[in-house]
Amino acid sequence: MVDDFIYLDYAASTPLDPLVAERLHDCRESVFANPSSNHAAGRISRAMIEGGAQQLAALLNVDPGTLIWTSGATESDNLGVAGAARFRSHRGKHLVTLLTEHKAVTDVFQMLEKEGFEVTWLKPDAGGCLDPAAFASVLREDTQLASIMYVNNETGVMQDIEAIGSICRERDVLLHVDAAQAVGKIPIDLQALPVDLLSLTAHKFYGPKGIGALYIANRPGCRVDPILFGGGQQRRIRPGTLPADLIAGLGLAAEIAQSRIETDLEHLGKLRRALWAAIRDVEGVLVNGDIESGFPGILNVSVSGIEGESLLLELEPICVATGSACNSKSQEPSYVLRALGRSDRLAQSAVRFSMGRPTTEADVEFAGRRYRQAVARLRDLAPEAAA
């Protein structure tokens, strides 16, 4: 880790696990052939891919054959949502999703609206949660697909996927779950969980960037139309030369995650408690989401009377996010926090601290101190301070 900053943005991306980095590096000499090639070198690449698939399949408790490799969760979300909606469009064109989904889901639904689908956009409660009964009440005869994320990337709020999935199964609605922030971080057993399509990306759990997957349950009616066209790779669902090394890296990252998911969760819980203890008595500070439930790797707080961009700069050298990384460049207050009922001002002052395996208690204590100082200085600079 570079030590001129303190990285607390693990929800945006994680560094490679050192073992994964080694695995990737080791691949460079022998695993380079095109895995579609029918020769000795191609077989080595295929074996790496099968190994990776097995490791990821073990983490999710699925058959390796249900996994389609993609370039990341954005592509998985696009393929899962648009692909399944189109595949089932002859049965009906009503779709359901949540206002607080990631852009890789909401933007796909907006595109589908232009294509003639009808989308019901559900609003979560003030804590960010979707009430399964509210979900059930909007399902219709012609509803074909719902997409509800597991762990929210801005707030860490977790949805009750089990309850929502059971409702979907009863009503013959496919459920897509954006689990980019959940896979490798919380236990997910897809034999037990009624989920049809699930998106993930390796760089959120210490794997390489540029590789992700879409799980497609092996059930009747659960299929996707491709969104990319080309060679016959991956049963024509997703073409392109597979990066065997990245898949091997993803697989190892999945195996490592599986072995330490409980330890990680405990570690993160401790860190979040320490961080919250350090800032909770800052005047006007508020948690976005829920400090009790929710994924412990994320603490998102707003504070009254503070401009968010200045707060972020003042927090340097602590690397944190406002809203999600994809929106960090825009000045707009997070649509996720607006959906939770936050005013523009409060949403704009939001800071997302997200912790990871390498984070220490000293890191979060430093961050907490810095946060208090930053708020104090900016308040002191404001015209109100003169009054």
Partner 1 sequence: MSNDAYSARVRDYFARPAHAGDLSGGVAVDIDEQGVRIRLAALGDRGRIQSLRFRAWGCPHVIAACEYFCARYEGAPIESLDVFQASDIMNDLSVPVEKTGRILVIQDAVRSLGRIIGGGSAA
Residue pair 368/310 in contact (Cβ under 8 Å)? The answer is: no
The answer to whether residue 181 forms part of the interface with a copy of itself (CB under 8 A) is no
Chosen from partner 1, a copy of itself, ligand PLP, none, partner binding at 178 (C-beta under 5 to 8 Å by type): ligand PLP
Residue pair 128/340 in contact (Cβ under 8 Å)? The answer is: yes
Length reported for the chain: 387
Please report the DSSP string for 240-292 in residue order.
S---HHHHHHHHHHHHHHHHHHHHHHHHHHHHHHHHHHHHTTSTTEEESS-SS
Q: Is 319 a catalytic residue?
A: no
Residue 3: CB minimum distance to ligand PLP, A:
25
The answer to whether residue 360 forms part of the interface with a copy of itself (CB under 8 A) is no
- What gap in Å lies between CA 138 and CA 144, rounded to an integer? 12
Site string for ligand PLP, 140-169 (x = CB under 6 A): ---------x---x----------------
158 by DSSP, 3-state: which?
strand
The answer to whether residue 258 forms part of the interface with ligand PLP (CB under 6 A) is no
The residue from 27, 129, 222, 326 that is catalytic is 326
Contacts of 78 (CB under 8 A, 6+ apart): 104, 108, 227
The answer to whether residue 61 forms part of the interface with partner 1 (CB under 8 A) is no
Residue closest to 364 by CA, chosen among 258, 269, 252? 269
- What gap in Å lies between CA 167 and CA 161, rounded to an integer? 10
The answer to whether residue 232 forms part of the interface with a copy of itself (CB under 8 A) is yes
Q: Which of 144, 181, 334, 359 binds ligand PLP (CB under 6 A)?
A: 181
Chosen from a copy of itself, ligand PLP, partner 1, none, partner binding at 196 (C-beta under 5 to 8 Å by type): none
Q: What is the dihedral of CA 126, 127, 133, 136, to 10 degrees?
A: 80
Per the listing, tokens 């393929």 go with 79
Residue pair 79/238 in contact (Cβ under 8 Å)? The answer is: yes
- What gap in Å lies between CA 146 and CA 386, rounded to an integer? 52
Q: Which of 38, 90, 116, 141 binds partner 1 (CB under 8 A)?
A: 38
The answer to whether residue 193 forms part of the interface with ligand PLP (CB under 6 A) is no
The answer to whether residue 15 forms part of the interface with a copy of itself (CB under 8 A) is yes
Which residues in 299-318 contact partner 1 (CB under 8 A)? Answer: 305, 307, 309-310, 313-314
Residue pair 323/300 in contact (Cβ under 8 Å)? The answer is: no
The answer to whether residue 232 forms part of the interface with partner 1 (CB under 8 A) is no
The answer to whether residue 229 forms part of the interface with a copy of itself (CB under 8 A) is yes
Site string for ligand PLP, 92-131 (x = CB under 6 A): ----------x-x---------------------------
Which two structure tokens, joined as six digits, stand for 315? 């927090």
Which two structure tokens, joined as six digits, stand for 147? 């997409």
Which residues in 33-62 contact a copy of itself (CB under 8 A)? Answer: 33-34, 36-42, 44
Chosen from a copy of itself, ligand PLP, partner 1, none, partner binding at 29 (C-beta under 5 to 8 Å by type): a copy of itself
The answer to whether residue 381 forms part of the interface with partner 1 (CB under 8 A) is yes
- Packed helices 361-381 and 244-279: angle between N→C axes, nearest 10 degrees: 60
Q: 169 vs 345, which CB is nearer to partner 1?
A: 345
Contact set with partner 1 (CB under 8 A): 38, 43, 46-47, 50, 305, 307, 309-310, 313-314, 329, 331, 378, 380-386
Contact set with ligand PLP (CB under 6 A): 72-74, 77, 102, 104, 149, 153, 178, 180-181, 201, 203, 212, 240-241, 326
Q: Which residues are catalytic?
A: 326
